[in-house]
Structure 1
Amino acid sequence: MSRFHESLPSTGGEARSPLDSVRRTSYPQVDRNLALVVGAGGAAGNAWAIGVIAGLAEAGLDLTEAADLMVGTSSGATVAAWVRSGIPPAELLASVLSEPVQPVGQKRERPPSPAMAAVFERMRAIGAAATSAADLQRAMGAFGLESDSTFGPEAAEQRRAMVAARLPRHVWPERPMILVALDARTGELAAFDRDSGVDLVDAVIASTALPGAGPTHSINGTRYINGGVRSAENADLATGYANVVVLSPFGGRSGPLPEGQFEGLRRFPGADLPSQVDALRNQGSHVEVITPDADSRTAMGTNQMDPATRIPSAHAGRTQGKQEARHLTLLWR
């Protein structure tokens, strides 16, 4: 388990969330005891997060029942939608483990896309040239819009059919859930929930629409890109919750970055996970961050986009989740 202790100055006063500047939702009054944040992580990170959640539940700490809010970004948006569907964690894990075994390096059939190495090289160049977080987000959106011309109309149709087939439910859950995307033209935050007037399938597609690797996603005339461009976790959206648990598939790494890493992007203050965690703590939240341990990193490999990593990542996540449960239970006893 990783913990971040870098100090940020306290903002003082009432804790505010980035959602305050977007809109107020009409959820009934809910408890604000626990928020579960699931970050971006590609195919491997998605399976690892499901494994961790299942391992925690197996050890007696079912965060799917306890979480008053779920925040999902990119592959974490899919995890959030699965978890909020009401399917028990053990069944979600079993579903991942029942997927066809693929040789490492073999990709699932998907709409044609440029080589991922070239996509991430372009993304890192955009990050290096950006002068602010807002500049980075706008430039990444422009990259996504520019890349749209390389994908035919069938790419969006295939993508929607694929995402819809993977979701057990296509309606928003009753309990609060936020899926994060960005407006491709403005770079502004789009925090989708059941009051957004957006179909759940569309919200998941928008949150997972990686610039250059697939088309931007159109919802009511606005085009969206992956919420991981803003932050791999977007943990700041859990502001105001007493306890926050963050599952960060991309966190805790050192050395050369694997392929398919959002963390190859330059992160400005406030967008990196340590800054967001410190801000939450300064505003009174108890925050725990779970990142892949050594065994999980080995299982996830060097290309987290590779579907062949999913089954080993899920197994490793389950084992790690059972270990993490002991720590979390002691903290909250």
Structure 2
Amino acid sequence: MTTHSHEANDAAGVERALVLGGGGPVGYAWTAGLLSGLVDAGRDLRRAERIVGTSAGAIAGAQFALGVDVAAGLSTELNRRSEPSPYESAATGGIGDLLSIFAGAARAADPDQARAAIGATALAAKTMTEEEFLAGPGYASLAGQVWPPAFRATAVSATTGRLVVWSADSGVDLAKAVASSSSVPGFTPPVTMHGDRYMDGGARSSLNADLVAGARSVIVVSCTALTPPEGLDPALAAPYEDQAAELDAIRAAGGSLAVIEPGPEFLALSGHGTRLMDMGLIPEAFQVGREQGAKEAPRLDSW
């Protein structure tokens, strides 16, 4: 099994790298729409030699690399909305508390140990079964697919708290790897692979952009604003500072960097990140992303 701790990085020599961050079902739809809009405008980011996806970004990235019809998949997802959503409590604010816990773990004296504590809670939580989780349309569309060579999915061991980066060389099923990357602690079950259980890569970082430090040209897509709002309590600034450090690592390694953040339309739709788990926003999020993709295309002419 090929895995990487958070210090490891094998992006040196990579010409083009694409990073897709986490952001719940709504962030997934926006990201998928954004990528679709860029392709329609002549910027096919599938040229990337490295695509690193975290959580929602892992789903979008795997589907994008495979050429999956995302619009059809979103229709399937919406047809399932009569079923109970595992994210119902998160949609009403629970996810904000979880993100604060993630940020606290990143600043702990032993981040891996702090994340293992989160994992212990995830393992003890009453959720749907792994089989039910993997039957979701985002993962079912990946079942049996050959792993795209460029694609990587981040996840965190629920027992050790260590980051892993799944690749074609890891010897794991693509759908299970992507599901592990987006298994939100406390809401969905950690996924079993290689004798361990794995949870959301966002437990380490919503971007994990530093994993592509060393690549020559990098595009980072974030489902949330990367600049803290005015008047933010300094105690809540840690996630912004950590993401800025990841982007600085790319620049310090000599890479050119283009960052795509939500435009005003998506910020308004998502309640500035507070409604990213609201399944009802999926169709509009996809369309807003598609429109933003067309607007972003001109500045990505090197791709």
Give the TM-score range, shorter chain: 0.7 to 0.9
1:96 correspondence with 2:49: no
Query: CA offsets per residue over residues 213-267 of structure 1, 9 Å max, x none?
Result: 22222212111111111111111111221100011002346449xxxxxxx7944
Cα 1:137–1:297 shift into 2, 3 Å: farther
Q: Mapping of 1:300-311 within 5 angstroms?
A: 300-301=270-271, 302-311=274-283
Quick one: which amino acid aligns to residue 197 of structure 1? G
Query: CA offsets per residue over residues 175-213 of structure 1, 9 Å max, x none?
Result: 321100011222111000010111112111110111112
Counterpart secondary structure, 1:71: strand
Q: Is the 8 A contact 1:81 1:167 kept in 2?
A: no
- Structure 1 counterpart of 2:180: 206
RMSD (CA atoms): 3.2
Q: CA deviation at 1:142?
A: 1.9
1:275 correspondence with 2:230: no
Cα 1:266–1:221 shift into 2, 3 Å: farther
Unaligned runs of 5+ in 1: 1-17, 257-263
Cα 1:164–1:39 shift into 2, 3 Å: closer
| Cα distance in 2 for residues equivalent to 1:171 and 1:285 | 32
- Structure 2 counterpart of 1:55: 37
Quick one: which amino acid aligns to residue 82 of structure 1? Q
Query: CA offsets per residue over residues 130-185 of structure 1, 9 Å max, x none?
Result: 58357344323323323433326x52221122257542453343432110001122
1:312 correspondence with 2:284: yes
Query: CA offsets per residue over residues 59-102 of structure 1, 9 Å max, x none?
Result: 111112x1111000001110111011134xxx434543675389
| Cα distance in 2 for residues equivalent to 1:131 and 1:76 | 20
Cα 1:131–1:80 shift into 2, 3 Å: closer
1:292 correspondence with 2:262: yes
| Cα distance in 2 for residues equivalent to 1:123 and 1:135 | 18
Tell me the number of residue pairs that the alignment of Structure 1 and Structure 2 aligns. 291
- Structure 1 counterpart of 2:233: none
1:139 correspondence with 2:114: yes
TM-score (norm: length of structure 2) = 0.83
Cα 1:310–1:328 shift into 2, 3 Å: same
Query: CA offsets per residue over residues 34-55 of structure 1, 9 Å max, x none?
Result: 1111000111110111111111
Quick one: which amino acid aligns to residue 43 of structure 1? P
Q: CA deviation at 1:122?
A: 5.6
Query: Whose Rg is larger?
Result: 1
| Cα distance in 2 for residues equivalent to 1:226 and 1:114 | 18
TM-score (norm: length of structure 1) = 0.76
Unaligned runs of 5+ in 2: 231-235
